Chains A and B, each alone.
Chain A
Amino acid sequence: MPSRKSRFTRRKFIGATAAASVAFGVPTLLRAQARPIKVGLVHPITGFLAYSGGQSRMGAMMAIDEINAGGGIKSMGGAKLEALLGDNQAKPEVGVSVVEQMQEAGVSAYIGCFSSAVALPATQAAAKYNTPFVIDVGASDNIVNRGLKNVFRLKPGFNASVDDGILGLGEINKAAGNPAKSAVLVHEESEFGTGTAKLLAAKLPSIGIEVKEVMKHANPTRDFANLALRIRGLKPDLVIMSNYQNEYVLLARTLHQQKVDLVSMFSVLGGGFNYKFVKELPDVAQYMIDTNHWFDPTNPRAQAMKKRVEAKGDLFTFEVYLSYNAVKFLADGMERAGSADKEKVNAALAASTWSDHFMPYGPTRMVNGQNTGGKASIQQASRTDIEVIWPAKFASAKPVFPKPKFS
């Protein structure tokens, strides 16, 4: 494996303080190249978010390998990036501990954390050192709204994603002659689902869609039969979901089994909408629509990376390319800062106009650490693939809306 994984962790960590200052603080004369820049990856590698964490780590490592293969950070004499691999176990206390541990090892920036509950205290811990922290995945807008100067997020938060979803749904609905006039919202109970549903309920009337009911469900939910019954009773045109993978798939499957006829199944940040879902349950997935962080399908680099991930037998999920682009964004900032100095990197990231990504975004424009140039797109599943259907500029197919009836 070409990646430079850290060895710092092999050392007894209590003694690491003293050892680290010797090993990392003093430049080695023998080393011809510039000192490597340590990037801490703080993802949930074990515990109930382990899959997402693993996917994020894979995406970030691919970016690091690519940058190093291309000659490292050129303005810093070709300095290579070195990944410090951390596991936050989806627990706040572990996330903070990992941040501190990496700090002792001389980390220059962090990437993380998937879970907002971990990201909030972890970014706060990093803020003490003013160390740049790029949020690759993490929906809560509180992460960037707290006034921490070291925190940056490239992807849109759920607030912006909902706006994009509403805009797109409005246009798709209008183009089809407004077949959708009512909706039932189904969301999971934590911050992500609750926040998304609240915003949706407030904004759907503006595109002529009445919200018949908002249904909250627990994580995990073992059975959706009753929920499907109630939805059938309400006869909405749309079901709009915001939930994590397992519940997303289970609910979609139940509605399909119960043959609940709808104009469309729509979701905002639907956790289970991915290539695997289409492959495992093509009948269920077909025609489902999701608003999400998606790559630009017209960008050849995105397609090339998708091929590389799939060739390894892995899935090209949103975590992979969001983390990949987060690392690239960070590297661009370091390139422009010309130094790993935290102040300079933070300033470079805050002033970033980076556009070398393969997301359907414009150039980066940071406002209080949030990229306002980011945009969610809308995808629809066919029986065999996933197509971008909105915005038209990046679309790879036309929407099937309304979807065919069951009978």
Chain B
Amino acid sequence: MDATILGAAVINGLLLGGSYALVAVGLTLIYGVLHIINFAHGSMLMLAMYGAYFLLMKAKIDPYAAIPLMVAAMFAAGYVLYRGLIGRFSHGKDENILLITLGLSIVLENVALFFFKGDSQTVTVSYSDRMVALGPALVPLPKLVSFVASLVLCAALAWFIARTDTGRAIRAVAKERHGARLVGIDVEKIFAVSYGIGIACLGAAACLLIPSFYVSPSVGHLFVIVAFTIVVLGGMGSFIGALVGSLIIGLTESLSGLFLGEALGQIGISLIFILILLFRPTGIFSK
């Protein structure tokens, strides 16, 4: 195999992993605190992508400039959804949260279909097709930007959880929710805040993905299973795990695609996931 192709494939794989990390960090936070798999994650990403799309098309706001706005909007959406629906309807049962988020994803996806119709929307911004030479690879600028942003996002979340009062409360609830309640932490509120933050990450992810990708009502499916895989692989609730997991999955997908072909190559993700779990049954960075 040509060394330049191999080198370029490694770079492409890492960049791909970066875009997965954007989606996976929020999911791992939600899992770490609430101990549930948020089935609505993909459809919330889809909503955020439509948000970024319409901000660009209707209000001429560049996707990158729209990040603060989308993060705030998605935080609010997540917080309200948890408070008004998920928390109230789950009766404290984890399986029920799973079902409610599943129901929610069906509703959201079809609301999008109802209002926006089913076709894929692609956008072009001035930098969409700008290419950057990165060693042997020629990569589109938006992908490089989203890779760097995913590192920043993971670091920011890690800092927030470690250093702020809310972060400490989130950690306390994640570790021992009954104990946290006893020391006077409003556990339900922390759940809602955590869910909100997890969804807010999707606001940033959407703005970073849209310049080089497309949006359609079912676009969430593309990322959601991969994101589940990454969260479990990295160790549920671990940001560094989500980041490392994303990069491993991105690299695996890229390299197995190169060696096995793009179709059979998809099996690389499943196999590496199975293998790693057999040796680290609670993920790479489990506590």
Residues in chain A within 8 A of chain B (CB atoms): 46-54, 189, 215-218, 220-227, 229-230, 233, 245-246, 249-250, 253, 256-259, 276, 280-281, 283, 315
Q: Looking at the complex, which of B89-97, B112-120, B229-237 is the stretch in contact with chain A?
A: B112-120
Which residues in B have their C-beta under 8 angstroms from that of A256? Answer: 129
Q: Which A-chain residue is minimally distant from B106 (CB atoms)?
A: A46
Check B118 against A54 for contact (C-beta < 8 Å). yes
- Report which of B119, B140, B223, B257 forms a contact with A51, defined as CB distance below 8 A: B119
**Interchain nearest-CB distance for A383 vs B (Å):** 13
Check B263 against A50 for contact (C-beta < 8 Å). no
- Report which of B124, B138, B254, B261 forms a contact with A215, defined as CB distance below 8 A: B261
Given the known interface contacts A46-B110, A222-B16, the answer about A230 and B217 at a Cβ–Cβ threshold of 8 Å is no
Please tell me if B216 contacts chain A, counting CB pairs below 8 Å: yes
Check B122 against A217 for contact (C-beta < 8 Å). no
Given the known interface contacts A46-B110, A54-B118, the answer about A218 and B140 at a Cβ–Cβ threshold of 8 Å is no
- Contact-residue bracket for chain B: 35 or more
Q: Looking at the complex, which of B1-9, B161-169, B174-182, B183-191 is the stretch in contact with chain A?
A: B1-9
- Report which of A220, A258, A281 forms a contact with B124, defined as CB distance below 8 A: A281
Given the known interface contacts A249-B214, A280-B122, the answer about A233 and B5 at a Cβ–Cβ threshold of 8 Å is yes
- Report which of A52, A249, A280, A283 forms a contact with B129, defined as CB distance below 8 A: A283
Which residues in A have their C-beta under 8 angstroms from that of B138? Answer: 257-259
Which residues in B have their C-beta under 8 angstroms from that of A218? Answer: 262-263, 265-266
Binary per-residue interface labels of chain B (128-140) against chain A in the complex, 1 for a CB within 8 Å, 0 otherwise? 0101000001111
Please tell me if B221 contacts chain A, counting CB pairs below 8 Å: yes
Check A217 against B263 for contact (C-beta < 8 Å). yes
Please tell me if B146 contacts chain A, counting CB pairs below 8 Å: no
Which residues in A have their C-beta under 8 angstroms from that of B120? Answer: 51, 245-246, 249
Check B2 against A226 for contact (C-beta < 8 Å). no
> A53 to B113, alpha carbons, bound, how many Å?
12
- Report which of A51, A220, A246 forms a contact with B117, defined as CB distance below 8 A: A51
Q: Which B-chain residue is minimally distant from A48 (CB atoms)?
A: B218
Given the known interface contacts A221-B262, A226-B262, A283-B129, the answer about A48 and B214 at a Cβ–Cβ threshold of 8 Å is no
Check B257 against A226 for contact (C-beta < 8 Å). yes
- Report which of B113, B122, B131 forms a contact with A50, defined as CB distance below 8 A: B113
Q: Which A-chain residue is minimally distant from B141 (CB atoms)?
A: A257
27 contacts between A and B (CB under 8 A): A46-B110, A48-B218, A48-B221, A50-B113, A54-B117, A215-B261, A215-B262, A217-B262, A218-B262, A218-B265, A222-B223, A224-B262, A225-B12, A226-B254, A226-B257, A227-B257, A227-B262, A229-B8, A229-B9, A230-B258, A249-B120, A257-B140, A258-B131, A259-B131, A276-B119, A280-B123, A315-B119
Which residues in A have their C-beta under 8 angstroms from that of B278? Answer: none
Please tell me if B59 contacts chain A, counting CB pairs below 8 Å: no
Residue of A222, A249, A283 with most partner-chain B CB within 10 A: A222
Binary per-residue interface labels of chain B (250-274) against chain A in the complex, 1 for a CB within 8 Å, 0 otherwise? 0001100110011111100000000
Please tell me if B275 contacts chain A, counting CB pairs below 8 Å: no
Q: Which B-chain residue is minimally distant from A224 (CB atoms)?
A: B262
> A274 to B123, alpha carbons, bound, how many Å?
16
**Interchain nearest-CB distance for A345 vs B (Å):** 32
Which residues in A have their C-beta under 8 angstroms from that of B261? Answer: 215-217
Known A50-B113, A229-B12; further 14 A-B contacts with Cβ < 8 A: A50-B118, A51-B120, A53-B118, A216-B263, A217-B261, A220-B221, A222-B16, A227-B257, A245-B120, A246-B216, A257-B131, A276-B119, A280-B122, A281-B122
> A252 to B12, alpha carbons, bound, how many Å?
17
**Interchain nearest-CB distance for A258 vs B (Å):** 6
Which residues in A have their C-beta under 8 angstroms from that of B8? Answer: 225-226, 229
> A259 to B137, alpha carbons, bound, how many Å?
12
Binary per-residue interface labels of chain B (22-40) against chain A in the complex, 1 for a CB within 8 Å, 0 otherwise? 0000000000000000000
> A54 to B118, alpha carbons, bound, how many Å?
8
Check B5 against A50 for contact (C-beta < 8 Å). no
Which residues in A have their C-beta under 8 angstroms from that of B129? Answer: 253, 256-257, 283
Q: Which A-chain residue is minimally distant from B114 (CB atoms)?
A: A46
> A250 to B129, alpha carbons, bound, how many Å?
12
> A215 to B257, alpha carbons, bound, how many Å?
11
